[in-house]
Amino acid sequence: MTADNGDGVSGTNVNRRTVLGAAGKATVGAAALGATTGSAAADGSYTRHEHGGLEYTKYVPGAVDGSDAVPLVVMLHGCTQDADDFAAGTGMNEVADENEFVVLYPEQSSGRHYNDCWQWFNDRNTTWGRGEAAIIAGMVDEVKSEHNIDDGEVYAAGLSAGGAMVPNLVVEYADVFSAAGVHSGLEYDAVEDENSGLLAMTQCTAKDPQEAGTRAYDRMEEFGITDAVPTIVFHGTDDTTVYPCNGEQAAEQATQTNDLAYNDADDDAIDYDPDETYTDCSAPKCAAVSEFHDPDGRSLVEYWEVDGLGHAWAGGDSAGSYTDPDGPDASREMWAFFSNGATDPGDDDPVAEASADPNPAAPGESITFDASNSSHPDGAIESYEWDFDDGTAATGETVTHSYDSTGTRTVELRITGTDGATATDTVTLDVIEDGFDGYCGTDDNYSHVDAGRAWTDGSYAYAEGSDENMGLYNVFETSRLKETSPGYFELVESCDG
């Protein structure tokens, strides 16, 4: 997702946001990161790391010494960009210096996508426990293990492909992220493949944003996390790469999700009729701002439509690519929104987490079902209830069970806290004869994809499940794949052993 910036538009009005937009402007221009050097602001630490096969950079302000828990902002770059470029263009490290929070910049690899795009357009990379979404969540866990991070103040923001990834990330990992910033992106689960994604970028997704908002809430409910997801959306009126209608859809989807999260009812307690509108002209290019409040008066969704802005980070620094310094300062506006309006995910609710070992299992084999990773932030867990999907049940944190016949079972765990709050989780178990004997063989990459053993981003083929890069998606390049568990394929040198 790349394009030129729009032409300049002047404005003279000033409103309550002006001080946020103007504060530190000179600092951003003077101390922005170099896009090629990756150097940090003077008093901070800017370091490079690896997790899950991808690299990331981390910025820790000098004032953050670990004595107090601080927020974490995860920044997802757009196509053709990298972490250093995005840090330079957004100036988020300077905002972190001013407000004492840590910044994490995951970096996409050309091995996963030829154009360095986050793969927001397929479920293999946007759903819980899979692909890039899982890797990014793992990076968050790694940073939290090294620094004193406030669990209730972890935020995700992104531009273009990164912006399109954010709504999926905060829904699938609603227990991790407290709020979302979507810049020049799309709504939750907008499409199912890359070609549809390219079409949606210019024609908008065919998925109704109200229905998308409901699906997002339903997905969160599966994990027992149904708190609000405050969301701020930025989009330019002159964006010809990701058309402005996508920003409108992202904002409307977020209002629907938050409407359901407010009281578990689709009653328009929060609807797509703005509660407050105003014009922000703190920069030459003005923004029409719409706020959507809950019945308690909190602004849970904001939509900033920037006049004359192309496909670029508003108020960004020209040291980075795809920025427009003449727009309102999106980095500071997002931080102001995050720090003023975000809520602690799962603050009042327990979180259920179930596992089964071994999986797959043979008939008659003893299987251990474990709920020890479940938690309750505000109290103790009083009971653990298991439904084994065969007419039997058990209670206890860790239990054993076996099945007489083969088949796929969906085992449900329900936990109840001492305060009466409940949460559920499921684990899918395959019961098969004599261990697992899956596919193993060599074929061209096109045939692997056609048979469902692999998937493609249009240029490269990736093993289904493991997401290993198999090389170019064509009939000339061949790969040997082994199905090590149902639907999970790995590259292997031999089918023996």
The per-residue pLDDT for 18 is 26
**pLDDT of 360 higher than 50:** yes
155: left (phi over 0), alpha (psi -120 to 50) or beta: beta
The per-residue pLDDT for 422 is 79
Taking alpha carbons only, the member of 344, 350, 408 closest to residue 376 is 350
Residue whose token pair is 């692909």: 131
The per-residue pLDDT for 351 is 78
The per-residue pLDDT for 463 is 93
Q: Report the alpha-carbon distance of residue 457 to residue 1 in Å, rounded.
A: 15
Q: Report the alpha-carbon distance of residue 166 to residue 182 in Å, rounded.
A: 7
Task: Please report which confidence band the pLDDT of residue 30 belongs to, taking 50, 70 and 90 as the band edges.
Answer: very low
Task: Please report which confidence band the pLDDT of residue 378 belongs to, taking 50, 70 and 90 as the band edges.
Answer: low
Q: Report the alpha-carbon distance of residue 222 to residue 335 in Å, rounded.
A: 29
- Phi and psi for 421 in degrees, rounded to 5? -70, 145
Task: Please report which confidence band the pLDDT of residue 435 belongs to, taking 50, 70 and 90 as the band edges.
Answer: low
- Give mean pLDDT, residues 389-411: 93
Taking alpha carbons only, the member of 193, 189, 186, 196 closest to residue 242 is 186
**pLDDT of 408 higher than 80:** yes
Task: Please report which confidence band the pLDDT of residue 21 belongs to, taking 50, 70 and 90 as the band edges.
Answer: very low
Domains, in order of start, for the chain: 18-341 (3.40.50.1820), 355-431 (2.60.40.10), 440-491 (no CATH)
The per-residue pLDDT for 40 is 43
Q: Are 464 and 488 in contact (CB under 8 A)?
A: yes
Token pair in block for residue 364: 């008659």
- Give mean pLDDT, residues 93-115: 96
Mean of per-residue pLDDT scores for the chain: 87
Residue whose token pair is 């866990």: 141
The per-residue pLDDT for 373 is 85
- Give mean pLDDT, residues 238-265: 96
**pLDDT of 347 higher than 70:** no
Within a 10 A sphere around the Cβ of 210, how many other Cβ atoms? Answer: 18
129: left (phi over 0), alpha (psi -120 to 50) or beta: left
Q: Report the alpha-carbon distance of residue 307 to residue 334 in Å, rounded.
A: 18
Q: Report the alpha-carbon distance of residue 486 to residue 171 in Å, rounded.
A: 26
**pLDDT of 12 higher than 70:** no
The per-residue pLDDT for 436 is 67
The per-residue pLDDT for 348 is 54
What are 212's strand-pairing partners?
none
Three-state DSSP at 253 gives helix
**pLDDT of 63 higher than 80:** yes
Q: Report the alpha-carbon distance of residue 19 to residue 16 in Å, rounded.
A: 7
Q: Report the alpha-carbon distance of residue 376 to residue 353 in Å, rounded.
A: 11
Can you give the three-state secondary structure of 27-78, one letter per residue?
A: HHHHHCCCCCCCCCCCCCEEEEEEECCEEEEEEECCCCCCCCCEEEEEEECC
Q: Report the alpha-carbon distance of residue 170 to residue 157 in Å, rounded.
A: 10
- When mean pLDDT is compared across 185-199, 284-298, 332-346, 464-478, the lowest value belongs to 332-346
- When mean pLDDT is compared across 51-65, 249-263, 356-370, 420-434, the lowest value belongs to 420-434
Task: Please report which confidence band the pLDDT of residue 9 belongs to, taking 50, 70 and 90 as the band edges.
Answer: very low
Q: Which residues contact 472 (CB under 8 A, 6 or more apart)?
A: 445, 459, 460, 461
Greatest mean pLDDT range, 334-338, 351-355, 406-410, 437-441: 334-338
- When mean pLDDT is compared across 35-44, 251-260, 307-316, 398-407, the lowest value belongs to 35-44
Q: Report the alpha-carbon distance of residue 455 to residue 459 in Å, rounded.
A: 10
Task: Please report which confidence band the pLDDT of residue 195 belongs to, taking 50, 70 and 90 as the band edges.
Answer: very high
Q: Report the alpha-carbon distance of residue 77 to residue 320 in Å, rounded.
A: 11
What are 149's strand-pairing partners?
70
Buried b (16+ CB within 10 A) or exposed e, 313-342: bbbbbebbbbbbbbbbbbbbbbbbbbeebb
What are 74's strand-pairing partners?
104, 156
**pLDDT of 35 higher than 60:** no
Q: Which residues contact 37 (CB under 8 A, 6 or more apart)?
A: 84
497 vs 111, which has greater pLDDT?
111
Within a 10 A sphere around the Cβ of 450, how many other Cβ atoms? Answer: 12
488 vs 15, which has greater pLDDT?
488
Q: What share of the chain in percent tops pLDDT 70?
A: 88
**CA torsion, points 5, 7, 10, 15, in degrees to nearest 10?**
-30
Within a 10 A sphere around the Cβ of 308, how many other Cβ atoms? Answer: 20
- Give mean pLDDT, residues 78-101: 96
Per-residue pLDDT tens over the stretch 273-325: 999 999 999 999 999 999 999 888 889 999 999 999 999 999 999 999 999 99
Q: Report the alpha-carbon distance of residue 431 to residue 401 in Å, rounded.
A: 12
Token pair in block for residue 309: 């802005």
Distance of CA 41 to the CA centre of its chain: 27
* pTM assigned to the model: 0.66
**pLDDT of 44 higher than 50:** yes
**pLDDT of 350 higher than 90:** no
